[in-house]
Structure 1
Amino acid sequence: MRSLRTVSVVGCHAEGEVGDVIVGGVLDAPGCKSMYEKMMYFWNTKDSLRKLLLNEPRGRSSMNTNLVLPPCNPQADAGFLIMESDEYAPMSGSNTICTATVLLETGMIPMQEPITQFNLDTAAGLVAVTAECEGGKCKSVAFDNVPSFVFVLDMPIQVPGFGVVSVDIAWGGMMYVLVDAGSCNLRIENSRGPELIELGERIKRAVQAQYTPVHPENPGIRGVSILAWTHPLIQDDGSDGKTAVNAVVVSPGRFDRSPCGTGTCARMAVLHARGQLQVGQTFRHKSIIGTEFVNHIRGTTKVGQYDAILPTVRGRGWITSFKEIVLDPTDPFPEGFRVGDQWHIPKPDSKG
């Protein structure tokens, strides 16, 4: 069979969110001194790879793909880049869990039972991984994420055709807008999915037009790109832990199927800033399909002028397939395509 290129991929999901992992067929980015530089190299010069894998007919709207590369940080055992439908994410919790699971279960990083510890280099910084392993299976992955912090609480945002919405904006490895679903007369449930997606994208675009957060340690990371709908905290029975539900709207307009790791870290930063979640307290974050990450704040620090938390997130990943992605030279869609029945096409704000 003829193919312009062949890419080796291990299929994986973490608590429902697809995060396939490229393990062969892609060369490293030349001359880069950080994973952030590698991310920008692929985004600016090799973005056809992301489009080939994530657009139809090879991909779909509700999936991500991770690219394993040599690390830049000498403390890391491997590096990886995170490709989403509309962007490269500096960091992602579900994708970290998928990548760690694949690295261990394919033997790219030696598995040690009952605990394997290693470091991953990401565009957001170094991430420490602790994997629970048994019988050759990676049973769970906990990762110590980069410091997370709040830019602003309770910011009023004028949303065209809707009105004023109060939002929190925080960094958890990506720039998040967090909105209480009840404040917009919505509930996080699949029956309200179209409304949550449509309004979530409109709120995000309104924030982008009115406020631009900039990471104090990397000014290249700027502007919100993702939104989390939230429900209030619930006290866990018989413990001091707390539980909450969220639904993260990923561009171009679909739900994260997992509880969203970086969104969880951003939310923990908000909860800690409000005095609602303390260091060491267990926080269970649930997704729209009922899966959960189990999390805690392990300490505090400063990032630039911002008070920050040190978050840890734990979840599970499962390998689903081993596949070779190919591109026939006569294929009329070398970068794939999108169709409005599956890919969210936003309505003009002026039409409400």
Structure 2
Amino acid sequence: MSEREAFWVQTEDWHTAGEPFRIISDLPPHCTTTGNTVWERRLNIINQPNHPLDVLRQSLCHEPRGHADMYGGFIVPPNDSGAHFGVLFWHRDGFSTACGHGTIALGRWAIAKGLVESVQDGSVEVKIDVPSGRVTAEVNFENGKVVHVNFINVPSYQFAKELPVNISLPGSESLQLKVDLSWGGATCASVDARAVDMEIKPSNAQRFIEVARQVKAEVGVRGEHKDTSLYTIVFFETLSETDEAIEQRNVTVYAEGAIDRSPCGSGTGARVATLLAQGKLNGNKKLIHHSIINTTFEARVVSQQQDEGSQFPTCIPEVRGNAYLTGRHNFFIDPSDPTFPGFFLK
């Protein structure tokens, strides 16, 4: 098939705590990528201008088939036989190294497609190779129905503490923030929402985007880690804290200004690592993490270690949520369409 020929592509759409995830398991014949690992496949795409998979990403993510806050993934072979499949995560601006809410959706999808056998009661593991490593979607059943999915992340840790970052808010002078950086499959910056004097609610979404862009620009090269740049900015506020749990609300701005409707799976994992480093999430204590639309993930530390010479502990976070099927689509993509490969307005 020529890249200029029109074609159909099928997708299955899910949402996790409100955040969309569009899955493409059968790629068009001309949309291939090379590499021995999912990380290498991602690099192959981003290093080649107008790569067919990047054009397909735009076609399915941007309007008129998607929107500026769309998310999805292309199913690809795993790194080896230890995983069920691999996935290339994508969003409006490119291909991410991690996506926790997508992993939760993929766990549900793998069960629904029969790639992994379900059980009446108990749990099954779906092993998925993503650019940042191998993650697990542990799908839990009661009476034959899925009750929740645990996203078990790659090793996560804080790597910078209280970086000074100067920003400007409308109608005020320069404001200095203290920003913590952590790794949860992607680099995440944590910012206390009280420091920017904004309530976490949908009507403030655009204001958070504007501040996040300033934070990302000011962090600059300090946010570079594992050959990636700063990907998410999590604005959080603490609602309550007991010996059993710390409850927070957050709004996560990712890529170049998209808002996560969920509490952000990878971002929640990164928050777990930061709270652990602060001594606030030891033992069996949970993080109850609410989103900007008031959906919720629960998270905890599965295991931890203190590496020699490291200032901060490394942990394996577990993030609990669920995903729901929203539809199956058969999209027609025509390169002669004047809007090809897509557009968005914000």
TM-score clears 0.5: yes
Residue 143 of structure 1 and its aligned partner are, at CA, apart by: 2.0
- Which residue of 78, 94, 100 corresponds with 2:101? 94
Structure 2 residue corresponding to 1:202, chosen from 192, 207, 214: 214
Given that residues 167 and 177 in structure 1 are in contact (C-alpha distance below 8 angstroms), is that contact kept between their aligned partners in structure 2?
Answer: yes
Structure 1 counterpart of 2:222: 211
- Do residues 265 (structure 1) and 269 (structure 2) align? yes
Give the Cα separation in 2 of the matches to 1:150 and 1:9: 36
2:12 matched to which residue of 1?
Answer: 10
- Report what 1:252 is aligned to: 256
Answer yes or no: is the 8 Å Cα contact 1:147–1:303 preserved in 2.
no
Question: Counterparts of 2:62 and 2:96 in 1: how far apart (Å)?
Answer: 17
Identify which range, 322-331 or 153-162, moves more after superposition: 153-162
* Residue in structure 2 matched with residue 231 of structure 1 by the alignment: 237
- The answer to whether the aligner puts 1:110 opposite 2:117 as a matched pair is yes
Matches of 2:229 and 2:194 in 1, distance apart? 25
Per the alignment, residue 284 of structure 1 pairs with 288
Question: What residue number does 1:241 align with?
Answer: 245
Q: Determine if the alignment matches structure 1 residue 169 to structure 2 residue 172.
A: no
Tell me if the contact between 1:113 and 1:132 (Cα under 8 Å) persists in the aligned partners: no
What residue in structure 2 maps to residue 327 of structure 1?
A: 333
CA–CA distance in structure 2, aligned partners of residues 49 and 137 of structure 1 = 34
CA contact (8 A) 1:293 1:313 kept: yes
Paired amino acid for 1:175: T
Residue number in structure 2 paired with 1:190? 202
1:46-195 correspondence to structure 2 within 5 Å: 46-114=53-121, 115-134=123-142, 137-159=145-167, 162-195=174-207
- Give how far 1:117 is off: 1.7
Question: What whole-Å deviation, never above 9, does each CA across 1:34-54 have from its counterpart, x for those lacking one?
Answer: 110111223333311111111
Asked if the contact 1:73/1:126 (under 8 Å) is kept, the reply is no
Q: Identify if the C-alpha distance between structure 1 residues 329 and 189 changes in structure 2 by more than 3 Å, giving closer, same or farther.
A: closer
Q: How has the CA–CA distance of structure 1 residues 235 and 160 changed in structure 2, closer, same or farther, with 3 Å as cutoff?
A: closer
Q: Does residue 42 of structure 2 align to residue 39 of structure 1?
A: yes
Please name the residue that 1:350 is paired with. Answer: none
Indicate the RMSD between aligned Cα atoms, in angstroms.
Answer: 2.1
TM-score (norm 2): 0.89
In structure 1, stretches of 5+ residues that fail to align are: 344-352
Aligned AA (2:39): Y
Q: Is the Cα–Cα contact under 8 Å of residues 149 and 309 in structure 1 kept in the other structure?
A: yes
More deviation, 153-162/87-96: 153-162
Q: Aligned partners of 1:169 and 1:329: how far apart in 2? A: 41
CA deviation string 1:114-152 (max 9, x = no partner): 222231111111112210135664332112100111111
Which one of the candidate residues 293, 298, 306 is aligned to 1:294? 298
Identity of aligned residues (%): 27
SS at match of 2:105: helix
SS of corresponding position for 1:168: strand
Alpha-carbon distance in 1 for matches of 2:326, 2:142: 18
Give the distance between the partners of 2:165 and 2:208, measured in 1 at CA. 17
